[in-house]
Amino acid sequence: MKRRDFLTAASATILPVMLDGFGLKAMSRQSALVQSLVGTTALASDRVLVIVYLNGGNDGLNTVIPLDQYSLYNGLRSNIAIPQNAVLGLDGNPATGLHPAMTGMRDLYNNGKLSIVHSVSYPNPDQSHYRATDIWMTAVDSSQTSSSGWAGRYLENRFPGYPTGYPNTQMEDPLAIQIGYLTSTALLGSQQSMGIALSDPNSFYQLVGSASATSPGDLPCCDAGDLIAYIRKQQALSVGYASEIKSAADAGQNLATYPTAGQNSLADQLKIVARLIHGGLKTKIYFVSLGGFDTHSGQVDSGDVTVGSHAALLGKLSSAVATFQQDLKLQGIEDKVVGMTFSEFGRRANSNNSKGTDHGIAAPMFVFGSSLKHRTIGHNPDLANLTGQAGNKDVTMQIDFRRVYTDILNDWFGTQHTTTNALLFHEFPTVSLFSDTVESVATGNWKDPNVWTVGRVPFANEYVKVNAGHTMTIDKTISVKNIRLEGKLLFTGPYSIQMTG
Amino acid sequence: MPYLDQYTTVLTTKTAAHLLRRATFGPTQSEITNFTGLTAAQAVQQLISNANYSPPPPVDLDSTKATAGQTYLDKPFNGDRNFDFGHYLRYWWLGLMTSQTTPPSLLDKLTLFWQNHFVTTREVVDDYRFVNQYLVLLRTNALGNFRTLVTKISKEPAMLRYLNGNENEVGKPNENYARELQELFTVGAVDFAGNKNYTEDDVKAAARVLTGWKYTNYWVVGSTSFATTFTLSKHDTANKIFSAKYSNTVITGRSTNPSATVTAGDAELDDLVSMLLAHPQTPRFICRKLYRWYVNPNVTQAIEDNVIIPLAQFLSSPTNNYAIQPVLVKLLTSQIFFDESNRGAIVKSPVELAVGAMRFFNQPVPNMTTDYAAFKTYFDFMFWRMRDMQMALVDQPSVFGYEPYYETGYSKIWLNTTTIALRSDYTDAYIWRWLQVKPDYKMGIDLLAWATSLQANFSDVTGTATISCVDVQAAFAKNLFATDLFPSQVDFLIDTIMMQGIPRSSWTFEWNAYRSAPTNTSKKNAVLYRLQNLMKYMLRMAEYHIF
């Protein structure tokens, strides 16, 4: 009996295939699958996360366009729909396309450096900018609140006691940097921000100046005392970090050609980030943002729907991210950095009469970097089965955003799973961002996208793992690269699993 | 713990300074003196009655133009100068905030509260006449009635433009304004316990009530007027049904205008505002925000129960019926307002820092109409510095207003590693005096003149006692900080910062040397250096940035 035929069954029986190790094909310790499973925390010490906030609620349906349902798409928003022939196609993914302004991110996708995570949201979504942003930044259930941010909690766990005693020899650099003037809720620890705000590394050192004598530490009572202590700490940190930032900025170099300064604020911010990382700053998290996505009105030009304010924003996003990625590649540090975009909500599937879109629910996230293992997580929203009343349809959630955070904390930063679960208040299933293996998350039919970590049926070129306790029903012949079976398979007929790898 | 009971103690220097710091953009020394000895009620009454409701209108500040110094709001719309004219409105308003020629008033601090509440921005509205009319509406009604304010702002061209109300039509609603009207302007998203105050369907229903409003002559070059219009055919005339959050209110759709002066849109808007203001959370939301603006951003359960709820009951009581002035008086004359634990409980916003320093250090505002070039130089400096410190006046980052008024952390957010450095750079300008406002006017503190004013019989070196470095520090720090410095801090300022580790007696020698030869540059610089070190350091202290 050939191994590949082993999984074929003539009748509907449950095959108790419980092989230890790595499935039915012997794998050496050097195989990609093994490496992907054991190597997740390698190099974790110098890994960097870049968070890109798209402020205002990005219109997901005009960003990632469901070409497989074009007429439904056009019917929902004929006054702003991107013409089918203008949508950018994606390699190996005819169902989905990108907005015509996003050539840079299209190339990243085609090169395997961009993951599209479809229809991201959370249960009981909120449509207030403030509250929704808060939920994304604090990573809570929509019925809960938290005064600290998800990234801030991670940093506080990793660097206990901050800011007392920082900078120090173990961590001489800022834990997090927000390019700009204010620090975001995402970076808040239990007491204060775990990050610092930096607008321009060149002028920062000069502006801060050298340390002056420190006033005695007496504090008055009450809120005034708290505020004074806080301000003194900010003063000390700015002085303490100024020279480290200056040396990193002096040592780092941008090797890619960015858009002209002042034309694309996100590119300007990412340019600084790339330079600081290249200069050796050990900062773990960078936070950058691009505003203007609250497109209630006039998101497309009246003459040409492929241009207009939303196209300009997506163009900035795309060229900024693509240039940044190119810079990292030229600097030789591409494998150290991963980036993610988020926006507080998507927009209504139906457009309004002002060539705009009102607040909605789910929308795609982008994750970018050379370490990503799947270009597509989830699938196009099903436009025939949207939430809400006719004329006011919303995109339904597929992927909880905290699953993406979970992968970043566990697999990118190498955090212990129990710690990650505590930081995010729940355990969330992986979306296999950094693992080339697609895993089952529940018992069910193989064809059901919801039973897989990646929120879709595994592709023929992907490794698959059926987890212990899960039974997958198979009612057609399936191709995968390889399968690791810890659970069970239930064949309903004369079908098989073909292994391609 | 005292809360809303009236504070009856006569104002001391400290309590008078506290009231003036919070109710205005910061006092001068003489204003503090003038308010000392009043009761809180008398003082607040003065701050109200001192309001000037008809200040001179803004003028063209570009000295290269033939129209420099002339008013422009009374002329046809000028598209070529749209940015400038909109921008000068901000200088005009900053001028009112900073002006010292009139007795202190609380009007503009309260107007800024409303501008940051009912946000529209110059950048998005982008027609200077719209921006002006909006600011005037807020300023005129700041102390008036909240019901009137909500009703008028809902139809104001600037707001119709900013939140797309003009694109909200029957069959194709634009929900932008309907949402923010509830979330930000009236009921608030959630109550103090975090429960939602309205539903998504309420947003949709309110949007339908608000259909049909538009404005005329936006950006029409040469036009001499503009107006809000209501178009019945664009209005949704069906009934609008609200959730249990609003007691299942049904707003009857009007298909005809009730009278020649009252449109169907007006009638439904009145119903909507009545419904919003009848929501029990609306007065609490407004009072909580006022408390955070004037008293302390930190609202505890005890404050909610003992200050916010009773003040809210007063605001919405049938006798008061949403009048703003009595509520403000009650808050600013309350025991909780003057409670020592609330002094220094807020980080100064950039406008409180920028305008406050100009006023405290008596930097006169050049006359806008006759001395427009100097006026512009003065406010160019202030406006762009404030913008770098993250407070561009009338250009909030979003409809939520400036982040430190709503985000976790509140006023702390103004300060971080970068803005602290920008703030130091701003206050350093008062020491280095590089800004030439006009030929005979350098912005900044004349530290030598100040120290000289402390010295009796300046020229009589041998016959009159010398002021000590302790005297100088005490004078420079008078009323400068909201909280008291500790003796150890005062010693540090004198010994380490001012005297740089040499004996205090050295000051006497240096000061007397300067008195003996006031034109000798090196003797002058010897004392000036110490005064500069001292004042620069005090303005950089954390204590200076809270109030």
- Closest-CA residue of A relative to B387 is A181
pLDDT, tens only, A72-97: 999 999 999 999 999 999 999 999 99
H-run or E-run covering A328: helix A309-331
Structure tokens at B16: 């008078």
pLDDT at B1: 63
pLDDT at A31: 38
| Separation CA A386–CA A393 (nearest Å) | 6
Distances (CA, A) of B294 to A262, B21, B110, B359, B528: 38, 10, 9, 19, 37
* CB < 8 Å to B389, chain A: 181
**Residue at a domain's end among A379, A412, A445:** A412
* Residue A384 CB contacts under 8 Å (≥ 6 apart), including other chains: A69, A72
Q: Is B199 on the interface with A (CB under 8 A)?
A: no
Mutate to test the interface with B, among A78, A142, A177, A182 (most CBs of B within 10 A): A182
Asked if residue A49 and residue A35 are part of one domain, the reply reads: no
| Separation CA B508–CA A177 (nearest Å) | 48
* Residue A472 in domain: yes
Residue B492 CB neighbours (<10 A): 19
Question: Do B543 and A228 lie within an 8 Å CB cutoff?
Answer: yes
Kindly report the pTM of this predicted structure.
Answer: 0.82
Instruction: Give the B window 339-378 contacts with A, CB below 8 Å.
Output: 340-347
pLDDT, tens only, B25-63: 999 999 999 999 999 999 999 999 999 999 999 999 999
Q: Is B296 on the interface with A (CB under 8 A)?
A: yes
> Which residue from A36, A42, A118 is spatially nearest to A465, judged by alpha carbons?
A36
Strand partners, A466: A485
Question: Do A130 and B403 lie within an 8 Å CB cutoff?
Answer: no
Asked if residue A17 and residue A67 are part of one domain, the reply reads: no
* Residue A293 in domain: yes
**Residue at a domain's end among A412, A446, A471:** A412
Structure tokens at A61: 């349906």
Answer for the pair A250, A304: CB distance below 8 angstroms, yes or no.
no
Question: Do B484 and A230 lie within an 8 Å CB cutoff?
Answer: no
Mutate to test the interface with A, among B159, B204, B296, B418 (most CBs of A within 10 A): B418
Phi, psi of B223 (to 5 degrees): -70, 150
Asked if residue A222 and residue A370 are part of one domain, the reply reads: yes
In chain A, how long is the greatest CA-to-CA distance? 83
* CB < 8 Å to A188, chain B: 408-409
HEC string for B219-276? CCCCCCCCCEEECHHHCCCCCEECCHHHCCCEECCCCCCCCCCCCHHHHHHHHHHHHH
* Residue A426 in domain: no
pLDDT at A218: 86
pLDDT at A210: 64
> Which residue from B542, B146, B162 is spatially nearest to B326, judged by alpha carbons?
B146
pLDDT, tens only, B6-20: 999 999 999 999 999
Task: Return the top range by mean pLDDT from A24-28, B314-318, B537-541.
Answer: B314-318
Closest to B400 (Cβ–Cβ): which among A129, A147, A207? Answer: A129
Q: According to DSSP H, which parts of A256-308 are helical?
A: 265-278
* CB < 8 Å to A212, chain B: 537, 540
DSSP single-letter state for residue B207 = H
Closest to B420 (Cβ–Cβ): which among A128, A213, A238? Answer: A238
**Residue at a domain's end among A363, A381, A412:** A412
Question: Do B164 and A297 lie within an 8 Å CB cutoff?
Answer: yes
* Residue A486 in domain: yes
Mutate to test the interface with B, among A124, A128, A141 (most CBs of B within 10 A): A128
Average pLDDT score, chain B: 96
ipTM associated with this complex: 0.93
Structure tokens at B475: 């004078």
pLDDT at B202: 97
* Residue A261 in domain: no
Q: According to DSSP H, which parts of B24-127 are helical?
A: 29-35, 40-49, 82-98, 107-117, 122-125
3 state SS of B98: helix
| Separation CA B542–CA B525 (nearest Å) | 28
Asked if residue A460 and residue A328 are part of one domain, the reply reads: no
Closest to B489 (Cβ–Cβ): which among A56, A204, A215? Answer: A215
Asked if residue A444 and residue A405 are part of one domain, the reply reads: no
d(CA A109, nearest CA chain B) in Å: 32
Phi, psi of B206 (to 5 degrees): -65, -35
Answer for the pair A399, A346: CB distance below 8 angstroms, yes or no.
no
* CB < 8 Å to A291, chain B: 397-398
Question: Do A197 and B417 lie within an 8 Å CB cutoff?
Answer: yes
Structural domains of chain A, count:
2
pLDDT at A170: 82
| Separation CA B248–CA A248 (nearest Å) | 61
Q: Is B497 on the interface with A (CB under 8 A)?
A: yes
Closest to B417 (Cβ–Cβ): which among A222, A238, A359? Answer: A238
| Separation CA B297–CA B289 (nearest Å) | 8
* Residue A28 in domain: yes
Phi, psi of B147 (to 5 degrees): -60, -45
Tokens 């406002």, residue located: B437
Radius of gyration of chain B (CA): 26
Answer for the pair A478, A495: CB distance below 8 angstroms, yes or no.
yes
Asked if residue A190 and residue A227 are part of one domain, the reply reads: yes
Asked if residue A481 and residue A403 are part of one domain, the reply reads: no
* Residue A114 CB contacts under 8 Å (≥ 6 apart), including other chains: A105, A108, A366, A367, A368, A372, A375
Structure tokens at A394: 């919303």
* Residue A50 in domain: yes
CATH for A220: 3.40.720
Closest to A128 (Cβ–Cβ): which among B164, B183, B343? Answer: B183
3 state SS of A306: coil
* CB < 8 Å to B542, chain A: 227-232, 235
Tokens 């250090």, residue located: B361
pLDDT at A180: 74
Mutate to test the interface with B, among A227, A228, A269, A302 (most CBs of B within 10 A): A227
Strand partners, A115: A367
Asked if residue A347 and residue A297 are part of one domain, the reply reads: yes
Instruction: Give the B window 48-107 contacts with A, CB below 8 Å.
Output: none
| Separation CA B545–CA B22 (nearest Å) | 13
| Separation CA B407–CA B519 (nearest Å) | 54
Asked if residue A187 and residue A84 are part of one domain, the reply reads: yes
State mean pLDDT over B360-383: 97
pLDDT, tens only, B265-281: 999 999 999 999 999 99
Closest to A353 (Cβ–Cβ): which among B169, B407, B540? Answer: B169
The amino acid at residue B165 is G
3-state class percentages of chain B: helix first, strand second, coil last, to nearest 5: 55, 5, 40
**Which residue range forms the structural domain that includes residue A345?**
43-251+281-412
| Separation CA B176–CA B164 (nearest Å) | 6
* CB < 8 Å to A125, chain B: none
| Separation CA A308–CA A280 (nearest Å) | 39
* CB < 8 Å to B337, chain A: none
Structure tokens at A321: 């991210």
Helices and strands (H and E) in chain B: how many = 25, 6
Asked if residue A442 and residue A319 are part of one domain, the reply reads: no
Q: Is B484 on the interface with A (CB under 8 A)?
A: yes
Asked if residue A61 and residue A4 are part of one domain, the reply reads: no
* CB < 8 Å to B545, chain A: 231
Tokens 């025991």, residue located: B335
Question: Do A147 and B408 lie within an 8 Å CB cutoff?
Answer: yes
Phi, psi of A36 (to 5 degrees): -70, -25
d(CA B194, nearest CA chain A) in Å: 8
* Residue A12 in domain: yes
Asked if residue A147 and residue A15 are part of one domain, the reply reads: no
pLDDT by residue, tens only, chain A of 501 residues: 333 333 333 323 333 232 222 223 333 333 343 344 333 433 346 899 999 999 999 999 999 999 999 999 999 999 999 999 999 999 999 999 999 999 999 999 999 999 999 999 999 999 988 889 999 999 999 999 888 999 999 999 999 888 888 888 888 889 999 887 767 888 888 877 888 888 777 777 777 766 667 777 789 999 999 999 999 888 888 888 888 888 898 899 999 999 999 899 999 999 999 999 999 999 999 999 999 999 999 999 999 999 999 999 999 999 999 999 999 999 999 999 999 999 999 999 999 989 999 999 999 999 999 999 999 999 999 999 999 988 889 999 999 999 999 999 999 999 999 999 999 999 999 999 999 999 999 999 999 999 999 999 999 999 999 999 999 999 999 999 999 999 999 999 999 999 887
3-state class percentages of chain A: helix first, strand second, coil last, to nearest 5: 30, 20, 50
State mean pLDDT over B511-519: 95
